[in-house]
Structure 1
């Protein structure tokens, strides 16, 4: 009956249905789609190197309109937030 014996866990020999055709790497590894095109992903570099890589990516980004659009959206959200908390914007303008 096994009153004093512990039950053993079941073991499964699982192989994924859709495996990398070339057999490279683990099929369970999660990898971002654009990691191969970025300098900032991977490697444990120093803080200065990380900042320099991020600035290089920003400068060499071919999609300048996306950066401008993000800045405009952030600016509008900041103004909406300031309006909600009733911040007095007149301190920035001289009479």
Structure 2
């Protein structure tokens, strides 16, 4: 019994009727169109490996505007959350 390992799918020797052997790729492969450009897609890795790949992907992103926009959105959501829980922001400002 493998509790920590993911189950592997069963493989069958089925060939579709109208599948051309000369065609591109596997007709059964479900793949996102951006998978070739990401490092985070692939085999299941450890939690640390996933975070390292995600950080590398974020650092090597060519579009810096997206990173800036992400930081702004996170800051706004954080301020809204602090407002909802009625956090006193005056501790950050000197008198």
TM-score (norm 1): 0.63
Larger radius of gyration: 1
Match of 1:59 in 2: 59
- 1:32 Cα shift? 1.6
* Unaligned ranges ≥5, structure 2: 1-15
- 1:23 Cα shift? 5.5
User: CA-atom RMSD, angstroms?
Assistant: 2.7
TM-score (norm 2): 0.63
* Unaligned ranges ≥5, structure 1: 1-14
How big is each residue's C-alpha offset from its partner over 1:19-67, in whole Å with a ceiling of 9 and x where there is no partner? 9x8263235x432221111111002333333332222211110011101
1:91–1:74: structure 2 CA closer, same or farther, 3 Å change rule? Answer: same
Q: Extract structure 1 runs of 4+ deviating beyond 6 A.
A: none
